[in-house]
Structure 1
Amino acid sequence: MANPYASRQQAYQNNSVNTASPGELTLMLYNGCLKFIRQAKKNIIEKNYELKNTNIQKAQRIIQELMVTLDPNSDISDQMMPLYDYINRRLMEANINNDLEILDESSELVTEFRDTWKEVIQKTRKHQYGQGGNA
């Protein structure tokens, strides 16, 4: 028998993604990347190298998706692309060497991006909805 809680949880997650703004989707990508890096660290500690490989590859795919979605005409893209590329290469190194320190470094960088992005979303919302009350 199917777990009714699990199906409701999946429906909620699908709805969250389907109704999210582009900014919120980017935030979800950052959070997903951090989740996979955390899981990979746990996998290394538990010596589950196959699962570690899977989780690091998932984190890399998210970074690659962030790279692909950068607006090439934006000045910030020129700054972000090399940083995303650096994280992607470091994740590859961490995967090859089972290196927890590199995963920590990657996690710190992604956390900084996520926190900055969250701040941008909050300021944008405040500007859109907070000034004058006219949305």
Structure 2
Amino acid sequence: MLSSPLQKYQQSSVKTASPGQLVVMLYDGAIRFVKQGIEAIEHGHIEQANTSLIKAQNVVNELMVTLNFDYPIAAELVRIYEYMIHLLITSNTKKDREPAAEALSYLIDLRESWASIAKPKTSSTTTGMEVRG
């Protein structure tokens, strides 16, 4: 059961979002978790770094499973996502912020692209991604 107004708002936002907006929300989450992971590494908070970077990996995995391979762009995106996961794992195992920072730069660029796509009327047929519920 949702207890706070913020949780209720967040759940409502997800339920009413378009597929493109959902993708942008996933990017926002991944970006937030990578930033938290980098900050935790910088402050020597190893456990928090691990937790945040694993959450970021999970979001990138979710982005990967939403790809619609009927569109050629999906093959390119899966390679980018796989590379980002590699960077996040490397950052987490070595507790090195640089690989995570590289992944963050890709996430920010892709998020901006999806945000511009999601503004107009968006459907899975125009974006090459399909969000399954």
Distance, in Å, in 2 between the alignment partners of 1:109 and 1:39 is 16
Which structure 2 segments of 5+ residues have no match? 123-133
- Name the residue aligned to 1:125: 121
- Measured on the aligned residues, the alpha-carbon RMSD in Å equals 1.4
3-state SS, counterpart of residue 72 of structure 1: coil
- Name the residue aligned to 1:114: 111
Distance, in Å, in 2 between the alignment partners of 1:62 and 1:43 is 18
Distance, in Å, in 1 between the alignment partners of 2:45 and 2:15 is 33
- Selected match of 1:89 from 86, 90, 108: 86
- Name the residue aligned to 1:130: none
Distance, in Å, in 2 between the alignment partners of 1:25 and 1:121 is 9
Q: Relative contact order: is structure 1 or structure 2 higher (C-alpha 8 Å, sep ≥ 6)?
A: 2
- For 1:31-110, list aligned pairs within 5 A: 31-110=28-107
Distance, in Å, in 2 between the alignment partners of 1:67 and 1:125 is 22
What percent of counterpart residues are identical?
34
**Which residue type is aligned with residue 120 of structure 1?**
I
User: 4+ residue stretches of structure 1 with deviation over 6 A?
Assistant: none
Which structure 1 segments of 5+ residues have no match? 1-5, 127-135
- Name the residue aligned to 1:3: none
- Selected match of 1:28 from 13, 25, 29: 25
Find the structure with the greater CA-based Rg: 1
Residues 70-106 of structure 1, C-alpha deviation per residue, up to 9 Å, x if partnerless?
Answer: 0011111111111100001110000011111111110
In the TM superposition, residue 125 of structure 1 has moved relative to its aligned partner by 3.4
3-state SS, counterpart of residue 34 of structure 2: helix
3-state SS, counterpart of residue 25 of structure 2: helix
TM-score under structure 1 length normalisation:
0.85
Greater share of helix residues, 1 or 2?
A: 1
TM-score under structure 2 length normalisation:
0.86
